[in-house]
């Protein structure tokens, strides 16, 4: 574990983020979102994301250091998301982190983004220690991990096609909602009846920890195509029913895995973990099963540098200057998380 405060940087997709972490304490966390930039395109444009990171990353880092009341030379290490993500976006963060680490003769810690989501609940004020089962649900990933060692989560299941966040975004687009689609769909669903339409829950009849969301997305496409013009009430009902078909297997398989492995807690991470209905289902199921629930605040469910700082403390630092040849990696390694 790093002795003293250090800087963490996250630029894997469309948030430019920096944080100052000292053990389990988040001394500062700054996130610059690009959501409005990508709204006209209905999704993240990689080139636009990378260019915006270039113009924002130094400002965000400076703000994080100022908020912590510390200088760059006070940092004992520099941590950065190395993988997985958009290659152009990752390169901005990795290049910046290497330059700062080299200039200050500090070690560099190259962090797996997914491990960041797993470790987010380790930070105060939640301060969750293993063992627990972790659910990561985002626009790019959906996976369950059994965590006895934060440095080496063990994969229990993952999506075999689309990620949960991608399915929510595509569903929002089919219903004529804006970007980002997940929050817009959740808002519309609040005024609808989740039992109004029965969407399929893939793999529901099988004893599996894997997920599949391609089928429910296609089912919504057929409904919208066949019904034509939708009334506001019908749109709300479809949004609620569609959301239920996505969050129900997420909650059920998380809680089932915790019971099977007899761990005392479950943890949520990723952008979909900010979904109110998912949080409600997990809380209710965990209370019934006597499980502790670790849910970071919504702003720490989406991409942020604080979680990268948490994962950095379970990742081997690379000493100065051995990291100069290291590069960003767009893909996750075999098995899903680099350790």
Are 42 and 132 in a shared domain?
no
User: What pLDDT score does 334 carry?
Assistant: 65
> Quick one: average pLDDT of 209-234?
95
261 class by beta-carbon count within 10 Å (0-12 exposed, 13-18 middle, 19+ buried) = middle
- Supply the pLDDT for residue 154: 95
What's the average model confidence in pLDDT over 43-72?
A: 95
Q: What is the pLDDT of residue 336?
A: 64
CB of 33 closer than 8 Å to CB of 14: yes
Tens-digit pLDDT profile for residues 170-213: 999 999 998 889 999 999 999 999 999 999 988 876 678 999 99
Percent of the chain with pLDDT over 70: 98
**118 falls in which pLDDT band (50, 70, 90)?**
very high
Whether 318 is in a domain gets the answer no
pLDDT tens column, 279-319 = 999 999 999 999 999 998 888 888 999 999 999 999 999 99
Q: Taking residues 58-78, what's their average pLDDT?
A: 98
Q: Taking residues 50-77, report their average pLDDT.
A: 97
Check residue 34 and give its pLDDT.
Answer: 86
* Predicted local distance difference test score (pLDDT) of residue 248: 96
- Angle, in degrees to the nearest 10, between helices 181-189 and 164-174: 70
Q: Is the pLDDT of residue 50 over 80?
A: yes
In a domain, 112, yes or no: yes
- CA angle (107 as vertex; 101, 110 as ends), nearest 5: 90
User: Are 82 and 142 contained in the same domain?
Assistant: no
In this prediction, residue 338 carries a pLDDT of 61
Q: Given this model, what pLDDT does residue 183 score?
A: 93
Mind listing the pLDDT tens digit for each residue in 7-36?
Answer: 999 999 999 999 999 999 999 999 998 888
Indicate whether 335 belongs to any domain: no
The DSSP element (H or E) to which 68 belongs, if any, is helix 46-68
Q: Domain check: are 83 and 134 in the same one? A: no
Q: Do 245 and 145 share a domain, yes or no?
A: yes
Do both 291 and 146 map to the same domain? yes
Residue 25 and residue 66 share a domain: yes
**160 and 253 assigned to the same domain:** yes
35-49, 174-188, 225-239, 325-339: least confidently modelled range = 325-339
Residue 109 lies in a domain: yes
Residue closest to 49 by CA, chosen among 89, 77, 8: 89
pLDDT value for 205: 64
Whether residue 78 is found in the same domain as residue 95: yes
- Give me the number of domains the chain comprises: 2
As a whole-number percent, the residues of the chain with pLDDT over 90 amount to: 85
Residue 88 CB neighbours (<10 A): 18
Q: Is residue 198 part of a domain?
A: yes
Clarify whether residues 76 and 148 are in a common domain.
no
Residue 162 structural domain: 128-295
* 145 and 286 inside one domain: yes
| pLDDT the model gives residue 40 | 83
CATH code for position 262: 3.30.420.40
Does residue 333 belong to any structural domain of this protein?
no
The pLDDT of residue 339 is above 70 = no
Range in 32-36, 84-88, 136-140, 211-215 with the lowest mean pLDDT: 32-36
Backbone Cα Rg of the chain? 20
Confidence class of residue 143 from pLDDT cuts 50, 70 and 90?
A: very high
142 and 32 together in one domain: no
Evaluate whether residue 216 is within a structural domain.
yes
Q: Tell whether 221 is covered by a domain.
A: yes
Round the average pLDDT of the chain to a whole number and report it.
Answer: 94
Give the global pTM: 0.93
Taking only the tens place, the pLDDT of each residue in 318-335 is 999 999 999 999 887 766
| 157 in the same domain as 110 | no
């Amino acid at each position: 574990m790093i002795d003293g405060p250090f800087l963490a940087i996250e630029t894997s997709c469309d948030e430019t983020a920096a944080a100052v972490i000292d053990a389990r304490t988040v001394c500062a966390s700054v996130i610059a979102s690009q959501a409005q930039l990508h709204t006209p395109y209905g999704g993240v444009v990689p080139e636009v994301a990378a260019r915006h990171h270039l113009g924002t990353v130094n400002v965000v880092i400076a703000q994080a250091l100022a908020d912590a009341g510390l200088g760059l030379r006070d940092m004992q290490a520099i941590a950065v998301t190395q993988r997985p993500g958009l290659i152009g976006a990752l390169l901005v963060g990795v290049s910046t982190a290497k330059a700062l680490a080299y200039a200050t003769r500090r070690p560099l810690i190259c962090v797996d983004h997914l491990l960041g989501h797993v470790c987010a609940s380790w930070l105060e004020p939640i301060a969750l220690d293993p063992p627990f089962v972790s659910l990561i649900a985002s626009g790019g990933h959906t996976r369950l991990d059994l965590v006895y060692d934060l440095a080496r989560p063990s994969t229990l299941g993952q999506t075999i096609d689309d990620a949960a966040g991608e399915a929510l975004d595509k569903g929002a687009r089919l219903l004529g909602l804006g970007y980002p689609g997940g929050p817009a769909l959740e808002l519309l669903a609040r005024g609808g009846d989740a039992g109004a339409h029965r969407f399929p829950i893939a793999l529901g009849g099988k004893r599996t920890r894997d997920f599949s969301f391609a089928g429910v997305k296609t089912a919504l496409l057929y409904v919208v195509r066949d019904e034509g013009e939708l009334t506001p009430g019908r749109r709300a009902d479809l949004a609620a029913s569609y959301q239920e078909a996505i969050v129900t297997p997420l909650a059920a398989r998380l809680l089932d895995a915790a019971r099977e492995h007899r761990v005392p807690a479950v943890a949520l991470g990723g952008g979909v973990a900010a979904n109110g209905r998912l949080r409600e289902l997990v809380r209710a199921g965990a209370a019934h099963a006597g499980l502790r629930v670790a849910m970071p605040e919504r702003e720490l469910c989406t991409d942020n540098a604080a979680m990268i700082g948490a994962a950095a403390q379970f990742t081997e630092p690379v000493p100065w200057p051995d990291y100069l040849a290291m590069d960003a990696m767009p893909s996750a390694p075999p098995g899903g998380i680099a350790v």
